[in-house]
Amino acid sequence: MSKIALITGITGQDGSYLAELLIAKKYKVHGIVRRVALENENHRLWRIKHIINKIKLHAATLESYASIVKIISKIKPDEIYHLGAQSYVDYSFNDEFSTLNTNINGTHFLLSAIKDFSPKSKFYFAGSSEMFGKVVEIPQTERTPFYPRSAYGISKVTGYELTRNYREAYKLFCVSGILFNHESPRRGFEFVTRKISYSVAKIKMGIQNKIFLGNIDAKRDWGHAKDYVRAMWLMLQKKKPEDYVVCTGKQYSVRDFLKLAFSLVDLDYKKHLIIDEKLMRPSEVNSLIGNNAKAKKHLKWDMHYDFRSLVKEMVFSDLDFIKNEKFL
């Protein structure tokens, strides 16, 4: 019999790739979406339009325990992937309250609903390298202490602790993936990699001339979302629930990304870049780099993309996107 999976955040970058992966594995895939998304399919559902007939969408919000309980108690999923969140770090400085409410309560509501109505469901929590923040160890592993630098990071540390506590206290199968930055042509336009790839395409096409950025010396460990959703699934196939760091183990600066993205279309980023102080964060995470040894050894996980192939795919996809004026 097919397994049943429920994905929160199915309209997001990771949700869309994970849904594709699970459909290919013959799961029955359910997704939680906000009612407004259902009202405007072209806007919020662009990443899952091509699979819309193969999934079942339920209107709910992470702010409402009642809406979550209704779905979990009805479909009793074998696996729940909790990817829904206010995921934009910069925005969390403008609205700490909604970030904390959605990200902490949403996770708590799901865990509590599982405990009371579907205790056999396995649960994946989307933890983040932002939990390491001002890093106390290089590279970061599953044992590195956290030092979050934003309401977003704090919300993810709390979600991680809630997940651990439900695992220990109620013996539920709950795990956190501590995922480092992962990107793709489906990345939201507010994140720096997509902002760059989209701007490069527009500059190449003569639609735009300048790109405004903040701290281009920040360093990240960037992978591809398609590779990372595979790790999520692998974590829920293990006998024992454990947390895993998922990363490439390689680090590049925003400047490296910028330089490569422009050079791929024979442009010089220095001629188009303007540093805008308004885009600097009040407390920045300057440098992240992870150690993926545990995921490689215990999940037999590996990557198909490297930094260059990731940047290349994003830039050329955005060139096509602009040329064809279509969503991906």
- List the catalytic residue out of 92, 121, 128, 155: 128
Return the one option of ligand NAP, ligand G4F, none that residue 84 interacts with (CB less than 5 to 8 A, by type). Answer: ligand NAP
Question: Is residue 66 classed exposed, middle or buried when 0-12, 13-18 and 19+ CB atoms within 10 A define those classes?
Answer: exposed
Residue list 274-313, contact with ligand NAP (CB under 6 A): none
Q: Alpha-carbon torsion 315, 321, 322, 327, what sign?
A: negative
Supply the minimum distance, in Å, between the C-beta of residue 220 and ligand G4F. 6
Could you say whether residue 180 binds ligand G4F (CB under 6 A)?
A: yes
CA–CA gap between residue 296 and residue 311 (Å, rounded): 23
H or E stretch covering 213: strand 211-213
Q: Which residue has the tokens 């974590």?
A: 235
Binding residues among 85-144 for ligand G4F as defined by CB under 6 A: 87, 89-90, 128-130
Binding test (CB under 6 A) with ligand NAP, winner from 92, 99, 102, 150: 102
Using CB under 6 A, which of 12, 77, 148, 153 touches ligand NAP?
12
For ligand NAP, the closer CB: 132 or 273 = 132
Q: Tell which residue, 247, 223, 194, has the closest CA to residue 307.
A: 223
Exposed/middle/buried for residue 40 (C-beta within 10 Å: 0-12, 13-18, 19+): exposed
Alpha helices in 205-274 (DSSP H): 225-237, 254-263
Give the residue with the Cβ less far from ligand NAP, 203 or 258. Answer: 258
Name the binder of 4 from ligand NAP, ligand G4F, none, CB < 5-8 A by kind.
Answer: none
CB closest to ligand NAP, residue no: 12
CB of 267 to ligand NAP, least distance (A): 26
- Contact between 23 and 55 (Cβ < 8 Å): yes
Question: Could you say which of ligand NAP, ligand G4F, none residue 11 binds, taking C-beta under 5 to 8 angstroms by partner kind?
Answer: ligand NAP
Judged by CB, which is closer to ligand NAP: 203, or 245? 245
152 is catalytic: yes
Judged by CB, which is closer to ligand G4F: 118, or 184?
Answer: 184
Longest Cα–Cα distance of the chain, Å, equals: 58
Which residues have CB under 8 Å from 71's CB, separation 6+? 6, 30, 32, 58, 60
Angstrom distance (rounded) from CA 253 to CA 241: 34
Question: Does the footprint of ligand NAP cover residue 83 (CB under 6 A)?
Answer: yes
Question: Residue 82 interacts with ligand G4F (CB under 6 A)?
Answer: no
128 catalytic? Reply is yes
Q: 152, 160, 198, 228: which is the annotated catalytic residue?
A: 152
How far apart (Å, rounded) are the C-alpha atoms in residues 8 and 110? Answer: 10
Among 21, 57, 265, 279, binds ligand G4F (CB under 6 A): 279
Instruction: Give the whole-angstrom CA distance, residue 228 versus residue 169.
Output: 28
User: Which CB sits closer to ligand NAP, 196 or 203?
Assistant: 196
> Does the footprint of ligand NAP cover residue 131 (CB under 6 A)?
no
Q: How far is the CB of 35 from ligand G4F (least distance, A)?
A: 23
Which residues carry out catalysis? 128, 130, 152
